[in-house]
Structure 1
Amino acid sequence: MTAVSAVVVREPGAAPAIETVELPEPGSGQVRVRVRAAGVCHSDLSMVNGTLRPPYPLVLGHEAAGEVVAVGDDVTRARVGDHVGLNWQPACRMCWFCTHGQPWLCATSSGIPAIENGATVQGVPAYVTLGLGAFAEEVLVPENAVIGVPDALDWASAALLGCAVLTGTGAVRNTARVAQGDSVLVIGLGGVGLSVVAAARAAGAGPVIAVDVSEAKKALAEAAGATDFVVASDALAKEIRSRTSGRGADHAFECVGRSSTIRAAWRATRRGGQVTVVGMGRADDNVELSALDIFSSARTLRSSVYGNSDPDRDIPVLAADVLSGTIGVEHLITDRIGLDQVPAAFDRMSRGEGARSVVIF
């Protein structure tokens, strides 16, 4: 067993704390990775605040990158010393969804908040968030959860590729297929929303209108490439129409995960436009739209799960885009923190402050 420090939560609503977690040695097809950087994602907060209901005790964290330090038997896609990003939803490549071109809906890994992997806390079996538990000095994962990244890519950027950037960019490129000249509305400017803004601008969209409840997000939105910034209000639809020739946006991306913001995105989109829900909400938060409005507006409402991406294919492409300057990442990082500062990062996230906090090991 290998003892590592990790951020663990014992029960819903409890304060996360650093504890010693023991990891077994890699078995057949497994890889141990020394984590170099891990982003604090809203999905981690959802594991704590009751939005999701994982088993406990739970090692938090899932957006990470690091260096391979040990491999088990029969591992073919990673060697000791490799720089890798971590994939929290690795595709099995065998189920119906995987064989029909939708690996982001993999029947084996999709929708599972946490698993057991042999880790223990004080002798008790521990669960790891989204199969990773990456707020830890090291993680033990199946080899299909590691994806090689260039050594030239800094650790913080590599970490964010695994969730925020992949999810936001994938929503633009894979789900909505935003084209040059399309008007885009983005509601919610956390790490994912800002990644949507950056990807929309990279696609040649314009205007790209960024919306948040906080005026403090304006500078972040502009750094990501937004042409317009609007503070959310009850008059949002009217404001968006005034900036899109009276029609409404061609594309609206909801990056909050609330029924109220989904309805706001719907109302601010033109007839025949597309609404893409990227934010993950609560099971009991129902969205109500009139049957007549659905018919007469001819809008499309869809979700984008993990950016409708295939990380094995898309993370190397994104890494190349970051290194070439096509996609920016640095503006997403508002706080570089230590492992013991993760609870404070959750507090900032709950207050809507900043973009991504990244744990640097």
Structure 2
Amino acid sequence: MDTQQNTALTRALAEVPGPLPTSGVIHIAIPHTDRFTIVGNHLAQHPELSCTAVGIAVRIQSLPQGIEIGIKALAARCREGEKRIAAALRELEAFGYLQRVRDRLPSGRFITRTVFCNQPTALLRPRRPAAPQHPAAPAPHPAQAPAEVPTPAPAPAPTPPPGPDMPAPPPVPPPPPLSAAHPAPLFVPLVPPPTAPKPPPAPLPRPDKPTPELDRAATALLSDLRRHAPQLTLSETDIRHLVPGVAAWLERAAHPDAIRRTLTTDLPHPLRHPAKLLKHRLTALLPPPLPGAHDLTAPARPRITVTPFQTCDDCDRAFRSPTPGHCRDCREHREHRSEATRTAA
């Protein structure tokens, strides 16, 4: 039995077009003739849906219309529990594959319909109105075939431009609005699919004042990373591309050991693109420049001028004044007395 299976597999592999890959999966595609469902790669390879959500979507898509697809109904058909199924349904609803629409029956009662769309992005594109279908004319019987073939009507002559004595032709009515030509889709997903272009990545930092010493130190640090992490074995092209980022760190007084720890700690396994990982860390974790001595000094407090106390020369009363003399009452008394003396004179 084992020999037959191996022979069949060998024969199937021999029929695979092209050279077989040395690693990875090998697909043996046998066309289906019955009991199959077409699933788009936008669902099977969705970057943000979990595998449970993709599997639940495929299961729902393979069921006939009218089958209950509630949480308990799916839990009875699948091995996953109700919590995982509920989370998967929420994911499908967030990306527009699953929708719940309220509909009104002729009796006036409202019901909730569960709608599954195998390609929600197609609903966002405007649809073309269906061409009107005219009933086909019955073919004439051979015995009743017309003797003459009707000649086509001559094309109308072009309308000459309106002259001074000729009235202008009536205006052509504008075309119908876009909403009438293109009816709105049945429903729009609550959360649009991730089709918007992603923002470009931030550029690699560069030193403000590049010097040969910074380039030499950055090159040595990048070349030495493979001693601490063999996964970070870089090519000369990658090192030349990453040197400005390390030089920017060194210009900001970052210690080489601190840079090395930042670049070699918590590496993913397996590490497929070490140069891209180092570029991301050098860009996203760039420290700020060191503050200067003037920035670290505490701001000076504003000086408050305190007016000293003085003793009045006449009444010995204390009062605040920058210079010694008389208090306010004594000054007013002196002014009043001097004014009375001038009036008497």
What TM-score do you get using the length of structure 2 for normalisation? Answer: 0.20
- Report which structure shows greater RCO (CA 8 Å, sep ≥6): 1
Give the structure-1-normalised TM-score: 0.19
- Larger fraction in helix: 2
